[in-house]
Structure 1
């Protein structure tokens, strides 16, 4: 008694019909999860930070700390 031959003709197409929709669905779900758990909170954090950010105040603080070599601190 021998085993029956495996059906090879059309096997790839048959498997793709099953796996391709699953792959697309999972990728869309993963992208949506990433968007709402990573990028949206990050956008909100940046917006909150720059809402009250004063660039000149930050520049003057760095200037007074001596970070810049080409800018003299006030009082010199």
Structure 2
């Protein structure tokens, strides 16, 4: 009698239901990670490059490197 009191588990469609739930969860987590990367890494990096090149003088930098001896001809 104890065995008839337990309800049988649903086995038909169990894999499909679990896959659907996990697929939606994985999609949501990946979107969250992508948004986090964009706003925590990519945007600050773009801003840092823009700030650097806003006042960058390549001629001045070249002259400093030339005076420091970076460009030496080897024959």
Q: TM-score range by the shorter chain?
A: 0.7 to 0.9
Q: Which runs of 5+ in 2 are unaligned?
A: none
After TM superposition, give the deviation of residue 15 of structure 1 in Å. 1.2
Runs of 4 or more off by more than 6 Å in structure 1? none
Which protein is richer in helix relative to its size? 2
Instruction: Name the structure, 1 or 2, with higher relative contact order (CA <8 Å, separation 6+).
Output: 1
Deviation sequence 1:11-61 (CA, Å, 0-9, x none) = 331211111001001100110011001100000000000000001100000
Within 1, Cα distance between the matches of 2:40 and 2:8? 49
RMSD: 2.0
Q: Which runs of 5+ in 1 are unaligned?
A: 71-76
TM-score, structure 2 length as denominator? 0.78
TM-score, structure 1 length as denominator? 0.77
Q: Name the count of aligned residue pairs.
A: 70
